[in-house]
Amino acid sequence: MKLQSDFLVIGSGIAGLSFALKVAKFGKVCVLTKNSITDTATVYAQGGIAAVIKKTDTYEKHIADTLIAGAELCDEEVVRMVVKEAPAQIKELISWGVEFDKTDDGKFDLAKEGGHSEHRILHHKDNTGYEIQRSLTQEVLNHPNIRVMDEYFAIEVITQHHLGKIVKRSNDNIECYGVYALNKKNNTIDTFLAKTTLIATGGTGNLYQTTTNPEVATGDGIAMVYRAKGTIENMEFVQFHPTSLYNPGETPSFLISEAVRGFGAILRKINGEKFMYKYDERGSLAPRDIVARAIDNELKISGEDHVFLDCTHLDSTELLARFPNISQKCKSLGIDITKDMIPVVPAAHYLCGGIKVDKNGRSSIKNLYAAGETSSTGMHGANRLASNSLLEAVVYADRAAKDAISLIDKIEFNTSVPDWNDEGTTHNEEMILITQNLKEVQQIMSNYVGIVRSDIRLKRAFDRLEIIYNETEELFKKSKLFVRLCELRNLINVGYLVIKMAQKRKESIGLHYTINYPPKKKEA
The number of beta carbons lying within 10 Å of the beta carbon of residue 164 is: 7
Could you tell which of ligand SIN, ligand FAD, none binds residue 57, using a CB distance below 5 to 8 A set by kind? none
Q: Which pairing describes strands 178-183 and 188-199: parallel, antiparallel, or unpaired?
A: antiparallel
| Active-site position among 288, 362, 399, 453 | 288
Q: What angle do CA 214, 218, 220 make, to 5 degrees?
A: 135
Q: How far is the CB of 312 from ligand FAD (least distance, A)?
A: 24
List the x/- string, 153-192, binding to ligand FAD by CB under 6 A. xx--------------------------------------
Establish if 221 lies at the interface with ligand SIN (CB under 6 A).
no
Distance CA 310, CA 520 (A): 33
E strands present in 258-313: 266-268, 307-310
Using rule CB under 6 A, residue 30 touches ligand SIN? no
DSSP 384-398: PPTT-HHHHHHHHHH
Torsion of CA 227, 229, 232, 236, to 10 degrees: 50
Contact between 46 and ligand SIN by CB under 6 A: the answer reads yes
Question: Considering beta carbons, is residue 17 or 266 the nearer one to ligand FAD?
Answer: 17
Q: Closer to ligand SIN at the Cβ: 16 or 205? A: 205
Looking at beta carbons only, is 206 or 508 nearer to ligand FAD? 206
Centre a 10 Å sphere on the Cβ of residue 455 and count the other Cβ atoms it contains: 14
Alpha carbons 391 and 372: distance in angstroms, whole number: 9
The residue within the footprint of ligand SIN, chosen from 159, 387, 490, 514 (CB under 6 A), is: 387
Q: Segment contacting ligand SIN (CB under 6 A): 251-259, 392-400, 444-452, 464-472? A: 251-259
Return the number of the residue (119 or 460) whose C-beta is nearest ligand FAD. 119
Distance between CA atoms of residues 22 and 7, nearest Å: 11
Nearest to 43 by CA among 124, 139, 149, 151: 124
For CA atoms 313, 316, 318, 323, the dihedral sign is: positive
- Residue number of the CB atom closest to ligand SIN: 47
CB of 61 to ligand FAD, least distance (A): 18
Annotation says 322 is catalytic: no
Binding at 49: pick from ligand SIN, ligand FAD, none (beta carbon under 5-8 Å per type) = ligand FAD
Closest separation between CB of residue 314 and ligand SIN, Å?
17
Structure-derived torsion over alpha carbons of residues 156, 161, 167, 169, reported in degrees to the nearest 10: 0
By CB under 6 A, residue 14 contacts ligand FAD: yes
Reduced to 3 DSSP states, what percent helix, strand and coil does the chain have, rounded to the nearest 5? 40, 20, 40
Nearer to ligand FAD, 251 or 316 (CB): 251
Residues 214-253 that bind ligand FAD (CB under 6 A): 216-217, 220
* Gyration radius of the chain's alpha carbons: 22
CA pair distance 26, 11, nearest whole angstrom = 20
User: Which residues face 509 on adjacent strands?
Assistant: 512
What is residue 29's three-state secondary structure? strand
Tell which one of 11, 70, 178, 353 touches ligand FAD (CB under 6 A): 11
Does 259 participate in binding ligand SIN (rule CB under 6 A)? Answer: yes
Q: Would you count residue 253 as binding ligand SIN (CB under 6 A)?
A: no
Q: Give residues 329-358 in contact with ligand SIN (rule: CB under 6 A).
A: 350
Contact between 449 and ligand SIN per CB under 6 A: no
97 sits in the region (left: phi over 0; alpha: psi -120 to 50; else beta) called left
Q: Does 400 bind ligand FAD (CB under 6 A)?
A: no
Residue 173 Cβ vs ligand FAD, minimum distance, rounded to whole Å: 25
Among residues 52 and 468, whose Cβ is nearest to ligand SIN? 52
213 binds ligand FAD (CB under 6 A): yes
Number of residues that bind ligand FAD (CB under 6 A): 45
Give how far the C-alpha of residue 298 lies from the chain's centroid of Cα atoms, to the nearest Å. Answer: 27
For position 258 contacting ligand SIN by CB under 6 A, the verdict is: yes
Instruction: Report the residue number, 196 or 257, with the smaller CB distance to ligand SIN.
Output: 257
DSSP 8-state symbol, 248 = T
Q: Which residues, 29 to 88, sit near ligand FAD by CB under 6 A?
A: 32-35, 39-42, 44-49
- What is the residue-wise DSSP string for 121-139? EE-STT-HHHHHHHHHHHH
Cβ 25 vs Cβ 147: under 8 Å: no
Contact between 389 and ligand SIN by CB under 6 A: the answer reads: yes
> How many other CB atoms sit within 10 Å of the CB of residue 105?
5
What's the one-letter identity of residue 303?
G
Q: Is 342 in the site for ligand FAD (CB under 6 A)?
A: no
**495 near ligand FAD (CB under 6 A):** no
Alpha carbon distance 402, 317 (integer Å): 45
Q: Is 378 left (phi over 0), alpha (psi -120 to 50) or beta?
A: left
Please report, as ranges, the residues that interact with ligand SIN according to CB under 6 A. 46-47, 255, 257-259, 350, 386-387, 389
Please report, as ranges, the residues that interact with ligand FAD according to CB under 6 A. 10-16, 32-35, 39-42, 44-49, 128-129, 152-154, 200-203, 212-213, 216-217, 220, 255, 350, 372-374, 387-390, 393
The set of catalytic residues is 288
